[in-house]
Structures are given as structure tokens and as C-alpha cells.
């Protein structure tokens, strides 16, 4: 008899069982949604305010401190199957499962699934299921008494349990400690045997693809067989493992380097001709290695895919919502599309979040988005005693096997910043001889990856040099985090080193104006008004925003200027750092900016804010991650123009370099007949001294052009420039798909932005941070639900440029 599934989605009820701060007068039970969370059920019932608005995060703090019970009734009819299991894809986190008054078991891990045999406890007709969740705060208090205190960069017991760490708050996230059935609940009926786990090892040998399928079976496998189909090829084999060859498959490539052909693979468990169980996924064929072979400069960190060294233009990924079930496949698709449109080719799934759902990785497969996957350890010391190691091993085994079919997945990483923490954050004095997680990172996890997913590289941490004998954040070795820039020093210090690979660096800014005013209703609205202040989670974050302006941009005097200048500074800081690192392509082989997305509306390092709107940083990333990058960089005592080419065809052409006054007067000009950047490489050209020899730093700039690419270089920062008051003509024309807004510059206009969300929260523009020389024009494609007019578009706060900040 084939296996059969019955989804347990409807008819759920939620009851508060009390706890610290429990609110009186709650209904005995309210409707509940599965998958879902307690917070979203209470929100739907109108019993709590939206935690994302104003100071409501504090008002709903009690929810996470209570125990809760989910209950449902369902009908079951005996179909004659030998086995029936109750399967939970995800329980958050400490749950007791009861079916018809019988306790089936307890759970303690948000990051794995659970299966309970229940046939003997089911009865024909109506059945009662209850899932009781203990507060993670309460369980944390108990765990505190078991484990001696260990360093943790953030409040809460996340390092003592297997629950999403950022649930307890981070420097960009709220403290909303969730519970609930965050993934599906299902009854699965099966007879004789079922497929417990499938591991397809996908490799290339010459032009052929090979899929080595390993199977694990529950039940009696006697006389059973497998039928495996891939890309029109089918083999039958005994239960255990089998290999199938696909002649000359198309290769799967990262975005920008080729296509992403996917081939369905199906594994069927056969009893004669009867299919007892089946499993299917889409796979891709590509080769992969992480090049860390020592060289004369240290230890490289380069992803080589299909024998091509790929420069990583990446962004870090955090959970896209604090309430995970709200992140639908459509939302994943939209967010990954936003990353791809910004020329991002890798997302690093950060270790303080979750192993994302299948929808995330499937979308990355389709869009050619590489995935760096952290194991879930972040910014804390983790005990290696008690129940934790067994939970960590079970979690890692399940997720390695679950994710290994995805061609987008290219790295398993042991942890986020924990090895660095042991070296530099005073942990050694606090820990004495207590464990802190090193056994996971250097022993357990690499063993599991080697056993279960030997075709993929493992790296012990981010940052990590490759050896405990070398400082983990040494820029000459492995992957590096650059956080002294932002936390301590100005962004001009990005040029102080050339990391082999920079897997974290970032700069803060508030969300878009539409998102800020949608989530904060302070009157007056200021950088330090209660709601704005509450939606800034970084320690002295607002102070750092202003400190980061010094030497670069004027300090703002109004809220409108504060919002614009901090967003502008974020975009400039990250563009500056990436241009520097990309200009050293070869020594540096990747940057992963912190961060792509937000989980709620907040001042943060994100390029896409918590309501999915694009900050100016997103447009800066699109420009600086473009496969053809032209940049002017300091080299020795002079300046060079650098052409960086991430395409598979060489990029060559004449380069013209002009030194101009801000009024457009050409002071010096030089054309080099041909600059050639070979495929996947960078080429440098020194700028003649007489062209780069500035006469008046406050009024001159360099402009380099090559085909459609332009690089600008100013000889001073904005605070020391004599930027003119912007003069321009602006024209609005209705178009079939929105509006065409053309700005014709009469003066230099630096970093022009049209903040059309100030007109309507759903209005968007196709470009920002555009610099126009006198006589140049730019046409913006604008989408808006309301009519646009010249006066509004021509005036602040919609029309903004750096020129307007002079004297502010």
C-alpha cells in the first residue's frame, strides 16, 4: 500500500496557560493557524497590537513568557496501513505532544522535525491532539542552572538551546520570543517500509553527470528495490545505494555566468511493482571546490565553480520576518529577485537565524543565487555537555541531508564569530577550562559534512583563517569580518587592508521614509523621538551614524536631512569599501555585505528594509556589483583607473580621463587607446600625473569613461567641496507603465535621488544616486499609484542631492 498523508491544518485552537506577566481577561481559546505562531494568532484575534509599530514590542513582551497550548480535533479512518506517524516539520521549541490523552513525547529543537508512531493511539472518528509549549524564557532559566554561565553577546539563553538566536533580540532585531507550530503537522500512513532519508551525491566526471543516491529505510526492506530516474535515465537497484549517469548534462551556473538548468530526480521504493514511497527534487550539475591553497600572500578563499574562479558579490541573509510562517514562497522569490537585480550572486544564510525552508533554496536554485549556509551558532559560547551535543548532531544530520540536493548550496560554515570571540572578546578569562563550542566547529560538524555531503566544502567559522594558530580575523588568511569600520573608525579605513575574502562588513541607515512613518507615529518625528529611538537596536547606533558623517558629510539639522544624509552615507561607505576590494580582484575574491534584508522596520545595515522597500544602498550595490566596474583607486603616490570584469568575455576599449571643474570646464584630458580586462580579471592603468594633478581640490573632479561605464573621483570630501546649488530642468511624462521623469542638469548634481515614496508609499523609482555633470540628463522610470507633478518632484524632500546639504 502506498504511503498517504493527511495534513492537520484546520480547526486549531490556542489557549494561554499562564506565565510571567500573563494578561488577565484573555479568552479561554482563540482560533489558531498552523503553520503559525502564538504572536500572529493573537494579532489576528485583535488581542495584541502589532509588535512592529511604535513601542509595541515592549507591550507584547509577556507573550513569550507564557506557556501556550494548541489543540485540534481531526477525523481518522483506518485505511489498513501498518504504520501511521504524526510528523511535525517544525516546532518552536519546547513542546509536549499529547494524542487522545496519551503523551507521545517532548521536543527541544526548533531546527529539526519530529516523528511519532501513533497508530495504536488513534481511534476511528474524532481524535484530539494537543501541543503544549513551554516558554523559552522559562526553560532558559532552568538551563542556566544546569550550565555554568558562558559568554553571549546578546541577552537571553539562545546559546543554551536550539532556538533561533535572534528571537531574543539582536542589534537589528526585536525581542519577540515566539512559540508555535511554525511548520506543517501531518499524519503519514505507510506499510512495510518507507524512505527515511535520501542523499544524492551529484558530481561531474568529464562531460557526464553522476548521481550517487544513498537511501535509508524505515521498516522491513526485505525484497524491496529502488527505481531512480534522472533526466530521462532510469535504473533499478537494491535498497541501499545506486548510481546513475546522465550523459552530457547542461551545467548549472551562478547568476551572470550562465544558465541554471534543473533536472528532476525521483527515487521510488518498490515492492514488486507497487510504489511504497517516493521522493523527488530538482538537481543541477556543477563542480565545486573552495580554493584555500596557501600562496605567497597567505591563504586564499576562492569559490571555483565549473573550474571557474567566481568573484563573490554577496550579501548576508537574516530571517525575513520575526514570524517565520509569514515568509511565503512568493516573498522568498521577491527578495531573492531583489538580490539578483542588484548583481548579488551569493546569499550567506547567517548562523543566528534558521535553516530556511525548501522554498528559499529552490528559488536560489532557479535564480542562480549561490548559498553559503552557516550552521546555527552565533556570537556566543555554546556548551558541549548535557543534552545539547545530541540535539546539535541530530539537527545537523537532518539539515545536511535535506539541503544537499540543491546546486545553489556551495558552503557549510561552522559558526558566526565564535572563534573570533574566543580569541578577542575576553572569553578565555571567563571560560577558564569550560567548553565553548570548538568541538562542534573543528570535529563534529566537519565529520558530519564529510560523511553526509562529501561533495561540498566545510569551513569552521566566519571569520576564520583556516588554523587556530593564525588569528581568525587575519585579512591575509581565509575569510574576514571588518567591523572596526562602523563601530570605531570611519569608512575611509576600508583601504587599510585587502582581505582575501570579506564575509561581513556594513554600515547603518534608517529604513525608507515610507517604512519609517508606517511603523513609527511619533509627533514630532525626530532621530531620538521614542519610536525612532526604539527602532534603533545597535548600541549607541545613532551616535555612530553621526560620528560616521564626520569628515565626509555635514551633520544634519532637520529630520529630513538626517534621514537623507545617513542613507547617503551608508550607500557611499559600502560602495567605497567594495570598490577598493574589487579593485584587488585576485588577492580578494569576494565581499558579502551585511546585510540584504530586515526582519522588521528598523534602522539597520540592510539594503532592503523590513517592508521590502529599497534603500539607496540597494542602488549603490547594483552599481558597484555590476559585472563591469570602472573605478579610480589610489596606487602608490598616484591614482589608477581599474577595470574589473566579471564576464566570460574580455572587456576592452579606449579609456578617457578628464579633470573637470564643477562647472564642466575641462582642465586636463587623456585618452588611452585601449584598456583590456581579460575575462574574470582586473586591469589597472596609471593616470598621468598632469591629469591627476589637482589645482583646486574643492572645485575639481576626475571623470573616467570606458564604453558605458563611468568612474568619478573627487579630491576632497563633501564637507570640503564647493558644490553648487543644484540647477536643473525637470519634466514629467506619462508612460505606458508609469511615468518618465527627466532631469536635465545645468550644474553639477551629485548623488541625485528621487524619494517618490514621500509622495505615495507604493511609489518606486528605477534608479538613485545619479551624478550629473552640467549639460547631462537622466530619465527615471517611476511607478506611482497617484499622479505626479513637476513641482513636487522638483522639491525636497522628494528631490534630494548632496549639493543641498552644503551649509546644512
| Cis status, amide bond into 35, omega within 30 of 0 | yes
Residues 404 and 479 placed together within one structural domain of the fold:
yes
Considering the domain architecture, whether residues 168 and 269 belong to the same structural domain is answered as no
Does 290 fall in a domain? Answer: no
For 341-356, write each residue's pLDDT tens digit: 999 999 999 999 999 9
What was the pLDDT predicted at 86? 98
561 lies in a domain? Answer: yes
Q: In what order do the strands lie in the sheet with 4-7?
A: 4-7, 185-190, 83-88, 114-117
Is 416 in the same domain as 454? yes
Residues 49 and 142 in one domain: yes
464 and 554 together in one domain? yes
What is the domain-level CATH number for residue 81?
2.60.120.260
Domain co-membership, 45 together with 107: yes
H/E segment holding residue 582: helix 559-582
Containing 5, the helix (H) or strand (E) segment is: strand 4-7
Query: Is 444 in contact with 389 (CB distance < 8 Å)?
Result: yes
Read off the DSSP letter of residue 603.
Answer: B
Q: Are residues 481 and 577 in the same domain?
A: yes
Using 50, 70 and 90 to split pLDDT, how confident is the model at 807? Answer: low
Cβ(608)–Cβ(338) under 8 Å?
yes
Q: DSSP secondary structure string, 254-306?
A: -TTTS----EEEEEEEEETTEEEEEEEEEE-B--EEEE---BTTBB--EEEET
Looking at residue 23, its pLDDT comes to 85
Query: What percentage of the chain reaches a pLDDT higher than 90?
Result: 96
Q: What is the pLDDT of residue 276?
A: 96
Peptide bond into 346 cis (omega under 30): no
Whether 736 and 684 map to the same domain: the answer is: no
Residue 536 lies in a domain: yes
* Percentage of the chain exceeding pLDDT 70: 100
- The answer as to whether 401 is a domain residue is yes
Sign of CA dihedral 151, 157, 162, 166: negative
Q: What is the mean pLDDT of residues 537-551?
A: 97
Q: Is the pLDDT score of 156 beyond 60?
A: yes
- Give the CATH number, domain containing residue 694: 2.60.40.10
Question: Pairing state of beta strands 681-686 and 638-645?
Answer: antiparallel
What ranges in 308-357 are assigned the alpha helix state H?
329-341
Among the listed residues 90, 106, 111, 88, the one whose alpha carbon sits nearest the alpha carbon of residue 165: 111
Structural domains of the chain, count: 5
If asked whether residues 471 and 614 sit together in one domain, one would say: yes
Q: Are 431 and 149 in contact (CB under 8 A)?
A: no
Asked whether residue 651 is domain-assigned, the answer is yes
Residues 689 and 597 in one domain: no
806 — pLDDT class (breaks 50, 70, 90): confident
Quick: pLDDT tens for 86-125. 999 999 999 999 999 999 999 999 999 999 999 999 999 9
Q: Which residues of 65-74 are buried (b: 16+ CB within 10 A; e: fewer)?
A: bbbbbbbbeb
Largest separation between any pair of C-alpha atoms in the chain: 91
Domain span at 658: 628-720
Q: Residue 803 has which C-alpha cell?
A: 549639493
Residue 103 lies in a domain: yes
Q: Are residues 744 and 715 in contact, defined by beta-carbon separation less than 8 angstroms? A: no
Q: Looking at residue 24, what is its pLDDT?
A: 83
**Residues 737 and 715 grouped into a single domain:** no
Amino acid at each position: 500500500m502506498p504511503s498517504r498523508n493527511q495534513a492537520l491544518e484546520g480547526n486549531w485552537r490556542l489557549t494561554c496557560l499562564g506565565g510571567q506577566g500573563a494578561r488577565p481577561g484573555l479568552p479561554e481559546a482563540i482560533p489558531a493557524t498552523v503553520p503559525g505562531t502564538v504572536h500572529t494568532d493573537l494579532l489576528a484575534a485583535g488581542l495584541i497590537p502589532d509588535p512592529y509599530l511604535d513601542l509595541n514590542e515592549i507591550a507584547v513582551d509577556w507573550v513569550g513568557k507564557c506557556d501556550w497550548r494548541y489543540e485540534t480535533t481531526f477525523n481518522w479512518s483506518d485505511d489498513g496501513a501498518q504504520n501511521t506517524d504524526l510528523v511535525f516539520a517544525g516546532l518552536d521549541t519546547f513542546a509536549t505532544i499529547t494524542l487522545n490523552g496519551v503523551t507521545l513525547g517532548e521536543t527541544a529543537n526548533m531546527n529539526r522535525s519530529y516523528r511519532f508512531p501513533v497508530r495504536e493511539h488513534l481511534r476511528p472518528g474524532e481524535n484530539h491532539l494537543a501541543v503544549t509549549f513551554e516558554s523559552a524564557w522559562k526553560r532558559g532559566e532552568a538551563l542556566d542552572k544546569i550550565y555554568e554561565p558562558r559568554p553571549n553577546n546578546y541577552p537571553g539563553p539562545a546559546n543554551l538551546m536550539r532556538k533561533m538566536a535572534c528571537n531574543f533580540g539582536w542589534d537589528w532585531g526585536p525581542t519577540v520570543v515566539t512559540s508555535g507550530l511554525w511548520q506543517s503537522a501531518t499524519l503519514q500512513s505507510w506499510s512495510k517500509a518507507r524512505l527515511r532519508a535520501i542523499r544524492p551525491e551529484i558530481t561531474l566526471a568529464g562531460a557526464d553527470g553522476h548521481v550517487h543516491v544513498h537511501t535509508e529505510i524505515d521498516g522491513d526492506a526485505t525484497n524491496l528495490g529502488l527505481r531512480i530516474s534522472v533526466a530521462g535515465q532510469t535504473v533499478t537497484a537494491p535498497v541501499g545505494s545506486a548510481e546513475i549517469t546522465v550523459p552530457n548534462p547542461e551545467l548549472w551556473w551562478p547568476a551572470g555566468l550562465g544558465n541554471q538548468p534543473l533536472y528532476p530526480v525521483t527515487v521510488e521504493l518498490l515492492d514488486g511493482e507497487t510504489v511504497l514511497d517516493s521522493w523527488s527534487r530538482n538537481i543541477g550539475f556543477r563542480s565545486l571546490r573552495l580554493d584555500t591553497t596557501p600562496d605567497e600572500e597567505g591563504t586564499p578563499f576562492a569559490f571555483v565553480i565549473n573550474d571557474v574562479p567566481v568573484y563573490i558579490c554577496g550579501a548576508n541573509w537574516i530571517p525575513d520576518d520575526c514570524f517565520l510562517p509569514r515568509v511565503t514562497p512568493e516573498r522568498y522569490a521577491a527578495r531573492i529577485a531583489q538580490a539578483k537585480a542588484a548583481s548579488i550572486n551569493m546569499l550567506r544564510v547567517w548562523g543566528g537565524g534558521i535553516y530556511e525552508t525548501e522554498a528559499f533554496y529552490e528559488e536560489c536554485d532557479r535564480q542562480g543565487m549561490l548559498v553559503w549556509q552557516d550552521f546555527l551558532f552565533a556570537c556566543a559560547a555554546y556548551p558541549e555537555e548535557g543534552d545539547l551535543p545530541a540535539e546539535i548532531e541530530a539537527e545537523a544530520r537532518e539539515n545536511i541531508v535535506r539541503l544537499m540536493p540543491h546546486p545553489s548550496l556551495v558552503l557549510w560554515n561552522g559558526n558566526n564569530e565564535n572563534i573570533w570571540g574566543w580569541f578577542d572578546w575576553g572569553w578565555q578569562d571567563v571560560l577558564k577550562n569550560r567548553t565553548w563550542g570548538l568541538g562542534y566547529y573543528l570535529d563534529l560538524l566537519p565529520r558530519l559534512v564529510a560523511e553526509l555531503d562529501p561533495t561540498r566544502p566545510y569551513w569552521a567559522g566566519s571569520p576564520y583563517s583556516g588554523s587556530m594558530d593564525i588569528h581568525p580575523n587575519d585579512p591575509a588568511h581565509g575569510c574576514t569580518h571588518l567591523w572596526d569600520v562602523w563601530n570605531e573608525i570611519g569608512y575611509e579605513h576600508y583601504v587599510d587592508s585587502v582581505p582575501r575574502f570579506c564575509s561581513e562588513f556594513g554600515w547603518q541607515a534608517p529604513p525608507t521614509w515610507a517604512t519609517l512613518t508606517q511603523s513609527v507615529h511619533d509627533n514630532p518625528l525626530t532621530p531620538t523621538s521614542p519610536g525612532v529611538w526604539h527602532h534603533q537596536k545597535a548600541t549607541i547606533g545613532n551616535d555612530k551614524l553621526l560620528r560616521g558623517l564626520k569628515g565626509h558629510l555635514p551633520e544634519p539639522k532637520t529630520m529630513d536631512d538626517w534621514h537623507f544624509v545617513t542613507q547617503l552615507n551608508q550607500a557611499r561607505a559600502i560602495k567605497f569599501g567594495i570598490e577598493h576590494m574589487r579593485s584587488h580582484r585576485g588577492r580578494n575574491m569576494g565581499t558579502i555585505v551585511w546585510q540584504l534584508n530586515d526582519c522588521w522596520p528598523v534602522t539597520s545595515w540592510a539594503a532592503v528594509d523590513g517592508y521590502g522597500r529599497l534603500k539607496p544602498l540597494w542602488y549603490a550595490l547594483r552599481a558597484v556589483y555590476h559585472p563591469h566596474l570602472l573605478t579610480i583607486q589610489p596606487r602608490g603616490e598616484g591614482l589608477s583607473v581599474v577595470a574589473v570584469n566579471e564576464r566570460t568575455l574580455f572587456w576592452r576599449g579606449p579609456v578617457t580621463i578628464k579633470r573637470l571643474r564643477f562647472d564642466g570646464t575641462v582642465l586636463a584630458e587623456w585618452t588611452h587607446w585601449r584598456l583590456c580586462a581579460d575575462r574574470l580579471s582586473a586591469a589597472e592603468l596609471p593616470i598621468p600625473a598632469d591629469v591627476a594633478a589637482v589645482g583646486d581640490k574643492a572645485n575639481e573632479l576626475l571623470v573616467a569613461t570606458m564604453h558605458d561605464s563611468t568612474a568619478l573621483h573627487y579630491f576632497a570630501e563633501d564637507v570640503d567641496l564647493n558644490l553648487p546649488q543644484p540647477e536643473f530642468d525637470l519634466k514629467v511624462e506619462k508612460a505606458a507603465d508609469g511615468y518618465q521623469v527627466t532631469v536635465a542638469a545645468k550644474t553639477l548634481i551629485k548623488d541625485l535621488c528621487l524619494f517618490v515614496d514621500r509622495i505615495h508609499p507604493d511609489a518606486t523609482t528605477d534608479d538613485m544616486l545619479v551624478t550629473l555633470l552640467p549639460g547631462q540628463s537622466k530619465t527615471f522610470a517611476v511607478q506611482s499609484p497617484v499622479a505626479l507633478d513637476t513641482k513636487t518632484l522638483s522639491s525636497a524632500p522628494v528631490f534630494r542631492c548632496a549639493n543641498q546639504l552644503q551649509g546644512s
